[in-house]
Amino acid sequence: MSLLVVNNLGKAYCSYSSEWQRIARWFYLPVKPQEEHWTLKHISFSIEPGEAIGIVGQNGAGKSTLLKMITGTLQPTEGSVQINGRIAAILELGMGFNPELTGRQNVHYAAGLMGFKAEQIEQAMPEIEAFAEIGEYFDEPVRTYSSGMQMRVAFSVATAFRPEILIVDEALSVGDSYFQHKSFNRIREFQEQGTTLLIVSHDRGSIQSLCNRALLLEHGSIIKDGAPEEVMDFYNAIIAEKENTKVQARQLEDGSVQTRSGTGEASIESVGLYNAKAEPIEFVSVGEPVSLRIITRINSDIPELVMGYMIKDRLGQPVFGTNTHHLGCKLESLRAGETLEYRFSFPANLGVGSYSIAVALHTTDIHISCNYEWCDLALVFNVINASKTPFVGLAWIPPTVECYR
Amino acid sequence: MFGMLRCLWDYRGFVISSIGNEFAARFARSRLGGLWMIIHPLSQVAIYALILSNVLAAKLPGIDNKYAYALYLMAGMLAWNLFSEIISRCLTLFIEQGNLMKKMLFPRITLPVIVMGSALLNNLLLFIAMLVVFALLGQTPNLQMVWLLPLTLAVVALAMGIGLILGVLNVFVRDIGQVVPILLQIWFWFTPVVYPVTIIPEELKSAVNANPMYSIVSAYHDILVYGKVPDLQQVTITVLVAIGLMLLGLFMFRRAAPEMVDAL
């Protein structure tokens, strides 16, 4: 049985020429709204237990509206949300805290607001107090707290009871980095115990490390539903997208999806990785000197051109990226019909695993300013450890060791 | 409707602790804390008594206590204070709690109920303080005071009905929030709290009778000042009006609840 089924959900905000007409409607008078503004339409998806889903989208895409309807604070205009289990939302921490009351009293209040009985709250109280780790301040008025301490208490109470579905909003910066780790640990623990996560974030890292599926919202509908990396690439392409540009997604042979976007004044013809003997390779051993060759065609006259590339790990986290602007090789006044070949040579000081390379052609050093072509997953290669000492991690940082005793 | 009651029952712990929190918060920083809730109406009574007693005291028939006017004022204030507190707090309730309603899922009906409980608690304290003052002025408690119990409920029902209607409307038409305090002031002066009903000209008597608060305030007077059984017939009409308004308020609250979050 699905944990959450969202079926053809839609939300319209109605405006009336007079608010009194709205009020007349409550009394079943036939009044037509002057204007209906749909912020969300035809949203359907379902979530199975234990999944972790990231919701991404630009500001105003409808993320908050969707979350509020799933939480139940907002009534859908059409469609339905079906939930089998308790849902908890960390949309804003410290909601309704009264600064004059102590942390303990506020915890009582907040947990009561979540619908828990006094005995349940009493039972969970030592746990909450211990998790917040604010010591004696727990019995001091909240107005004496630092904002970080308030966040600690708020997070502790919000996650005191494990829900079946946990909604976490992007703005989840819970105090200092120590507590941030602690709170993410708790979220992961919940996930291991079977809680389904619903995370809204712009942070590629947290989406890719926590989620196994992502939904991309744009203009109030889901335009992509798939693996986080694929969705995030698509999302980045949308951000980079300018007028009259196309975002294309092409299925690669191994099943992953490649995203291309850009205005097309210059295009990438081929991308290849070569070893020292100038042979194309797919498997690279740690530390091996390699050369990334990118052939580019100029389709119309352009004043300047910068080529950039980014090596990403399996989860799509950037490992290394740079461009010809930074490398001091910016080209100017290019003519239509020219073909260029870039060769980037570097030692593959990478850890064992699968990596992808994204390449981009643009004008200045920021690739969204004028984006000719941008191609994710242009190349996928694997790093194997053939000759080095065993190690873990993303980078090959060979140490020497001395030991004194 | 029963769903609403069920929700309320499930959240009873929350409602009670919220009332307690509100009370505790009032004591948190000021020395006298919640006592101010009593001092305000009592000082108002003192001011009126001081300024108006010479003008009006002579016209208060039926009691021989020389502080009769002060007693009269206090009795009326006890009723009016509860009434206006509930209305003015309900008026801005949903706007003040807008953020909470947008981000947390909980039965919204708890919000007005918390206001009601908190106002009742204040009223109880005011009543106790008044009993003390009454005793000091030579007026002893009497058995008729039991009638105050149903009368308080009538005031609450009337105020909650009006408060809910205005509070819901205020979310959509914000002018309501500005105009209601003025109307409340006017209403206060059109209700015989500060003056005895006898000074009202004969031709305006029927207008006074149409005021639902009139029957309640005069019932308070009958009980606290004259120590007699109130005019139940008049009060019954008010109670019926109150129940009607309350049902209307709940109906509007239910119909508006989904849209309220949109507008906040």
Domain count, chain A: 1
Residue in chain B lying closest to A20 (CA): B173
Q: What would the pLDDT profile of A280-303 be if each residue is shown by its tens digit? A: 888 888 888 999 999 888 888 888
- The single-letter code of the amino acid at A379 is L
The answer to whether B123 and B79 have CB atoms below 8 angstroms apart is no
Q: Is residue A188 part of a domain?
A: no
Mutate to test the interface with A, among B21, B171, B260 (most CBs of A within 10 A): B21
Which residues does chain B have within 8 Å of residue A98's beta carbon, measured at their own beta carbons?
21, 25
B24 Cβ under 8 Å from any chain A Cβ: yes
- From A71, which residue of chain B is nearest by alpha-carbon distance? B105
CA nearest neighbour of B28 among A98, A8, A247: A98
What residues in B contact A17, CB-CB < 8 Å? none
Whether residue B264 contacts residue B102, with contact meaning beta carbons closer than 8 Å, is answered with: yes
C-alpha A104/C-alpha A84 separation (Å) is: 31
The answer to whether the Cβ–Cβ distance between B102 and A100 falls below 8 Å is no
Residue B182 confidence (pLDDT) above 70: yes
User: Which residue in A152, A146, A160 sits closest to A99, CA to CA?
Assistant: A146
Q: CA torsion sign, A67 to A69 to A72 to A74?
A: positive
The CATH number assigned to the domain holding A290 equals: 2.70.50.60
- Tokens matching residue A62: 């409808």
Domain assignment present for A277? yes
Give dist(CA B83, CA B119) in Å, integer.
9
| Closest by CA position to B197, among listed B75, B46, B51 | B75
The label of the residue with tokens 């979050």 reads B261
* Cβ <8 Å between A114 and B262: no
Query: Which of A25, A36, A75, A165 to probe by mutation at the B interface, max B CB count within 10 Å?
Result: A75
User: In angstroms, rounded to a whole number, what is the distance separating the alpha carbons of residues A211 and A286?
Assistant: 29
Distance of residue A219 Cα from the nearest chain B Cα, in angstroms: 19
pLDDT attached to residue B9: 84
Q: In this complex, do A101 and B252 lie within 8 Å of one another by their Cβ atoms?
A: no
**Residues from chain B contacting residue A26 (CB–CB below 8 Å):** 251-252, 255-256
Is A171 within a domain?
Answer: no
**CA A257, CA A59: separation in Å to the nearest integer?**
25
Put simply, whether B204 touches A (Cβ < 8 Å) is: no
For residue A304, the distance in angstroms to the closest alpha carbon of chain B comes to 49
CB-based contact B176:B94 (threshold 8 Å): no
User: Within an 8 Å CB–CB cutoff, is residue A72 touching chain B?
Assistant: yes
Q: Is residue A306 part of a domain?
A: yes
Question: Other CB atoms closer than 10 Å to residue A28's CB: what's the count?
Answer: 8
Distance of CA B42 to the CA centre of its chain: 15
Beta bridge partners of A59: none
* pTM of the model as a whole: 0.72
Task: Give B154's contacts (C-beta < 8 A, 6+ positions apart).
Answer: B216, B235, B238, B239, B242
Contacts with A91 from chain B: Cβ below 8 Å: 103
Confirm whether A289 is domain-assigned: yes
pLDDT at site A243: 41
Residue A41 burial (C-beta neighbours within 10 Å; 0-12, 13-18, 19+): middle
Q: What is the pLDDT of residue A114?
A: 84
Confidence class for position B120, pLDDT limits 50, 70, 90:
very high
Query: Alpha-carbon distance A267 to A300, whole Å?
Result: 10
Cβ-contact A265, A302 below 8 angstroms = yes
Question: Cβ A112–B173 below 8 Å, yes or no?
Answer: no
Per-residue pLDDT of chain A (405 residues; tens, 9 = 90+): 678 888 888 888 888 877 788 888 888 877 777 778 888 888 888 888 878 888 888 777 788 888 888 888 888 888 888 888 888 887 777 677 888 888 888 888 888 888 888 888 888 888 888 888 888 888 888 888 888 888 888 888 888 888 888 888 765 666 676 777 778 778 888 888 888 888 887 766 677 777 888 888 888 888 888 888 788 777 777 766 544 455 556 666 666 666 677 778 888 888 888 888 888 888 888 888 999 999 888 888 888 888 889 998 877 788 899 988 888 887 888 888 888 899 999 999 998 888 888 888 888 755 456 778 888 888 888 888 878 888 888 888 988 999 998
In the predicted model, what is the mean pLDDT of chain B?
A: 85
CA–CA separation, B177 and B166 (whole Å) = 8
Give the C-alpha separation, A158 to A137, whole Å.
Answer: 18
Decide if B101 and A74 are in contact by the 8 Å CB cutoff: no
For residue A380, give its domain range.
Answer: 251-384
Measured between alpha carbons, how far is A357 from A309 in angstroms, rounded to an integer?
7
The Cα B158–Cα B213 span in angstroms is 9
* The pLDDT of residue A240: 60
CB of A38 within 8 Å of a chain B CB? The answer is no
Of residues A167, A170, A202, the one with CA closest to residue A187: A167
B165-176: average pLDDT: 90
Chain-centre distance for alpha carbon A107: 30
Tally of domains in chain B: 1
Nearest to B243 by CA among B166, B155, B113, B169: B155
CA atoms within 13 A on the CB side of A179: 20
Residue ranges with strand state E in A313-352: 318-323, 331-334, 339-347
pLDDT computed for residue A369 by the predictor:
63
Query: For residue B24, which residues of chain A lie inside 8 Å, CB to CB?
Result: 100-101, 105
- What H or E segment, with its residue span, contains residue B187? helix B175-189
The range of the structural domain enclosing residue B177 comes to: 2-263
H/E stretch holding B250 reads helix B232-263
Cβ-defined contact of A101 to B258 (cutoff 8 Å): no
Q: Do B172 and A19 make contact, defined as CB atoms within 8 angstroms?
A: yes
Average pLDDT for residues B105-128, to the nearest whole number?
89
A-chain CB neighbours of B111 within 8 Å are none
How many Cα atoms are found within 13 Å in the side-chain-facing hemisphere of A221? 5
Q: Does residue B211 have a pLDDT over 50?
A: yes
| Residue type, position A331, single letter | L
